[in-house]
Structure 1
Amino acid sequence: MSELKKDTVAENTAEVKTKTDDDKAAKSEKTEKPKKDKKKGGFKNFLKSRKARHGSIAAAIVAIVIALVIVLNIVVSLLVGRFPNMVLDFTKESSFALENDTIDYVSHIDKDIKITVLTTEEKFEGSGAYYIQANKLLEKMESASNGKIKLNYIDLSSNPSISQKYADADWSKNSNMMIVECGDQYRVLTIDDCFEYDKDYYSQYGTYYVTSSLVEQAVVTAILNVTTEDKVVVDMITGNQEQDSSAIKTLLQNNAYQVNDVSLATGDLDEDAKFAILYAPSVDLDEGTVEKISKWLDNDGKYGRNLIFIPTENNVDTPNIDSLLNEWGMQVNPGYVYETSTDRLVSNSSPYIFTVDYTDYYTTGLKNPNIPVVTLFARSVTLSDSSVSHALLTTSTSAGIYPTDADDTWNYKNGITGENINVAAEGVKSNTDNASSKVVVFGSYSMFTSDIMSYNSFNNSGYFMNMINTLADKDNAGITIEGKSMQNAELGITDATTKNTLFVIFVIVVPVAVLITGIVMWLRRRNK
């Protein structure tokens, strides 16, 4: 029994000792502070860990991408500075892009051209958005010219002697913007040449509020002028109460023709003139003036000269002019031509404003023969002698003539003959050497006003210049460039297919691709 008691006491003592040791160990764990890992090479081990390895790779990728973007931006900036035509223009009106006609023209220039802007580039661009646009267009012209055009900026205030070199310019006004020169020939372009602006705003505040740019047209026509050495002479016959012919004059001058005003009451037509224009006289010519014109056209039997006659809308009694035209197989009739074919009408409110058809003359060389010529309140031109005359522009067979003596009982159907009516015609006389003189008659002077010829949807200026250039034996068909407005800055995307494609790409495909890529990368990292 004593042995059993001893064993029991021993067991109890062992249990107590074990519990005490456990309590001490637990207490020691609670009170003892965690020791830092003092292993050497701990940072290296961290770099070798999966966590550090993935983080380093991500950081390296980010750094490389940022570096590539910076380098790419620098390279692109240098390339754009060296090659401005690399700049893409997504504006609706292609405000910063050259017209195809301009690119084609400047790329074939064979003479050295210098364009000098009369201020610093910084000040020029600092004048507003249209000046920034102008600078970009000038840079693109320089780039497209294959080294023939040189663009530079000179501060006029620091170089006042420049006004002495170009003495023909008017330096009294502070509106000269740039000089275009080739050899000894130069042309100074003003703000009026280069921009359209609000005249009322200028008169009220004395500052220019630009509404559109004409820089491209102005510079191209200036280049055309300074590179043309022997200009064809055109005499505008004056002194007969003519209508305003400034639009035709400007068109001819822009295409490197020398235009002179000549009064036949006191002088004669120039011997070296190839053209004479009688633009909408309100009175008849006297017999002496008609005789001078006839003699000039005959040119002692050598011919080679051309008269362009455009009557006024008013039915003026002009027997002497009628006699001259009759010698060339043509007659201008009273009344107004109207059109009943609705697909010809420009305005549904007026049957006197409509498009006409070309004949086979002066269409070769037209840049776009699909664009029609429009006529307004035209008088018909009858071929009195078809052996020497032919039609140039005609109406449809649905047109008619409104007579000057029509009363309230007149019906428009009565004026329709069912035949084409001529609104422009030409008479030709030739000699045995095949040299010809020609008289061209257009039935409407309104079709050559500045408002009508400024519309690119009509071919009036293009047809007129193509006819003039053909008669002058000039290959250049003239350059007509539309002014550029920056009122609309949105992307120039109008067709539904392109819009839908861009929508799908940037709104659906790109975001979904980014989302899927992110999910895949997250799952791969989590499973490693």
Structure 2
Amino acid sequence: MAENEEIKNEQSAGEIPEETVAEETPETGEAVQEKTAEQPAKEPEKKKKKSIFNNKKFKYGSLSVVFTIMFIAGIVLINVILNLVLDRFHVEADLTSGSIFTLSDETVDYISTLDDDISIFVTADKDELKGAGQLYAQTVEFLDKMAGLNSRFTVKYVNLLQDPDFTNNYVETLQNYQVIVQSAKTGRYRILSINDFMKYKLSDGNTYDYSEASMYVSYGGLTVTDYSSSAESQLVSAVMSVSLDDPTVVTFLTGYGESDSSALETILKDNAYVTQTVEIERVEAVPDNTDILVIHGPTKDYSLDSITKVDTWLSNDGKYGKDLVFIATPDPAETPNLDEYLAEWGIEVGKGYVLQFDENHAYYTGSPLPVMQDIEMKTETAYYEAMKKSSGTSFIGYYVRPVIKLWENEGNLANVTVASAYGEKCIMFPFTADENWAPAEDSFSAYDVIVEASKVQFADNNEPIYSKIIVCGGDQLFTDYFTTASNYSNGEAALSLFDANSESSGKSISIVEKSFAAETYQIERSTQIAIGITFAVIIPIAIIVIGILVWLRRRRL
């Protein structure tokens, strides 16, 4: 009984449950009867159901589902955030071997700091462009990146069929696959053709645009050896030319059968100049905003009234500071009024072509006579320095006429040779020569082909101020063939005639064209084996091991 009393005391203290004691403590029959008499009979208890939430399988399975859902939701959220960031800042990696979708550092610096609202309109569907080929996809990529660099740079794609009224904003006839670059600050705009961004290098070593390359491949027997894109350089040049506050304005005069000047105009536009065309007979005077005037290969003689307008503009009310670029026609045109006016400045354009008989500098391509030759830019001139910055100092002359200096200095007039044929083994082939003409050895001489004639007057501070006429011996110097061919420096020579006398000099950005025919990478045999083992053996085995470990872990739950 003493033992039972001790057990009751422990039960009352709550240390051991009664049921446990009754089951585990051996008792006599007396004790059992006594306990039964003391306590009323209990109904048999129903077995308690365990909560499903306490089930290990449910617990771990539910957690697994929850974690999976949270993981997927997190991945989706991160993806959304990253897409928003990428759309805003256009952050991505260019994995192409030639980095054809990457802007140059010069472009990034310029666009990032541009203080102007630039609107870009592309007359095409964006998705269609991206799928049309590398050139078009590159253009879309460049525009997106420019917009990401500067919030004031906007790009909009326009469907001309769905929005025909858009064409009313421009005097030009718009076509598909064009890019219109427009400045809110100046109101100026430029229209570019995406198709013109592609340049083709042919087997003759020169680079041409699509139309020229097609002609030489189809009819000249040449083949394409490389092709590249000038999209970046053309887009940046367009932005620069429309956004400059005070660009140099070059006016091309027409009305007298002038030759095609589009190649020269393109060079100027690509280098931040603004060009305009004026029919001189239909205006009272040369436009006041003109900084440089161009007469490009007239085949008819100027009237005295037109010459007076040009001379009035050059004199600038006696203040000078104006420049005229006169480019002669290679045709034997009779232009007595123009000839007389040039003579007043001490210049005469010869009546024939310069032939080069030094075999080191002559080319007989396409002609039995050496009318194609090297031309040398003379040192100690601003033109030489302007051209020297971007290329060599020689270029190609083709059917070029001699430019003769009637004097070196006379009063306030001075004449300076800008460029000449190489050496003194040259002769002039006269326009009047017949089939029996032959050069006389004693008639060989040196010939100038570009000459600067200038008039000077002095300002109050004794600073000299010049008005100039730069006379070129032929428009073939600056045709599209020579100015775009990569083997020649005619484009740089043409630009130097303007850069040497212009505030726009140096405002362009030199950007290397990106080749689409990039060299493929070669992987060594040992590297190929290592890559094969990694992806075919190591990674699959690692995945299998991880799967087995996960399966064993879950099996024990």
TM-score range, shorter chain: 0.5 to 0.7
What aligned pairs does 1:92-491 form with structure 2 within 5 A after superposition?
A: 95-96=100-101, 98=103, 102=107, 105-106=110-111, 109-117=114-122, 121-142=126-147, 146-147=149-150, 150-154=153-157, 156=159, 160=163, 163=165, 167-169=168-170, 175=176, 177-184=178-185, 185=187, 187=189, 189=191, 191=193, 215-254=231-270, 255-264=272-281, 267-345=284-362, 350=367, 351-359=370-378, 360-361=380-381, 362-366=383-387, 367-370=389-392, 372-387=394-409, 388-404=414-430, 405-406=432-433, 408=436, 410-411=438-439, 413-417=441-445, 419=446, 421-433=447-459, 434-478=464-508, 486=516, 488=517, 490-491=518-519
Distance 1:85 1:467 in 2: 42
With over 3 angstroms needed to count, the CA separation of the structure-2 counterparts of 1:382 and 1:98, relative to structure 1, is farther
1:466–1:477 Cα contact (<8 Å) kept: no
TM-score by length of 2: 0.63
Letter in 2 for 1:282: T
After the TM superposition, which of the residue ranges 190-199 and 449-458 deviates more from structure 2?
190-199
2:325–2:470 Cα contact (<8 Å) kept: yes
What secondary structure does 1:474 align onto? coil
Give how far 1:412 is off.
Answer: 6.5
Distance 2:280 2:342 in 1: 20
Distance 2:530 2:175 in 1: 58
Distance 1:193 1:217 in 2: 14
Work out the number of aligned pairs and report it.
Answer: 416
**1:87 maps onto 2:94 in alignment:** yes
TM-score by length of 1: 0.66
Q: What stretches of structure 2 of length at least 5 have no aligned partner? A: 1-77, 199-209, 215-226, 539-557
Distance 1:430 1:319 in 2: 26
Distance 1:342 1:98 in 2: 44
Distance 2:123 2:311 in 1: 48
1:424–1:440 Cα contact (<8 Å) kept: yes
Give how far 1:102 is off.
Answer: 4.8
After the TM superposition, which of the residue ranges 302-311 and 408-417 deviates more from structure 2?
408-417
Give how far 1:430 is off.
Answer: 0.9
Distance 1:89 1:250 in 2: 30
Q: Could you give the per-residue CA deviations for residues 422-478 of structure 1, whole angstroms, max 9, x where no partner exists?
A: 110101111121211000001110122222222233232333233323323234354
1:193–1:218 Cα contact (<8 Å) kept: no
Give how far 1:85 is off.
Answer: 7.8
Distance 1:129 1:426 in 2: 45
Determine what percentage of the aligned residue pairs are the same residue: 23
With over 3 angstroms needed to count, the CA separation of the structure-2 counterparts of 1:491 and 1:247, relative to structure 1, is same
Q: Could you give the per-residue CA deviations for residues 269-292 of structure 1, whole angstroms, max 9, x where no partner exists?
A: 223322221111112223333333
Give how far 1:308 is off.
Answer: 1.2
1:469–1:477 Cα contact (<8 Å) kept: no
With over 3 angstroms needed to count, the CA separation of the structure-2 counterparts of 1:116 and 1:422, relative to structure 1, is same
2:375–2:421 Cα contact (<8 Å) kept: yes
With over 3 angstroms needed to count, the CA separation of the structure-2 counterparts of 1:357 and 1:107, relative to structure 1, is farther
Q: Could you give the per-residue CA deviations for residues 174-232 of structure 1, whole angstroms, max 9, x where no partner exists?
A: 52644433325253646467556679x9xxxxxxxxx9855434422321232023443
Q: What stretches of structure 1 of length at least 5 have no aligned partner? A: 1-70, 202-210, 493-501, 522-528
Compute the RMSD of aligned alpha carbons: 4.2
With over 3 angstroms needed to count, the CA separation of the structure-2 counterparts of 1:247 and 1:382, relative to structure 1, is same
With over 3 angstroms needed to count, the CA separation of the structure-2 counterparts of 1:475 and 1:290, relative to structure 1, is closer
Distance 1:451 1:151 in 2: 35
With over 3 angstroms needed to count, the CA separation of the structure-2 counterparts of 1:95 and 1:514, relative to structure 1, is closer
After the TM superposition, which of the residue ranges 132-141 and 340-349 deviates more from structure 2?
340-349
Give how far 1:87 is off.
Answer: 1.6
Distance 1:228 1:140 in 2: 22
Distance 1:313 1:158 in 2: 45
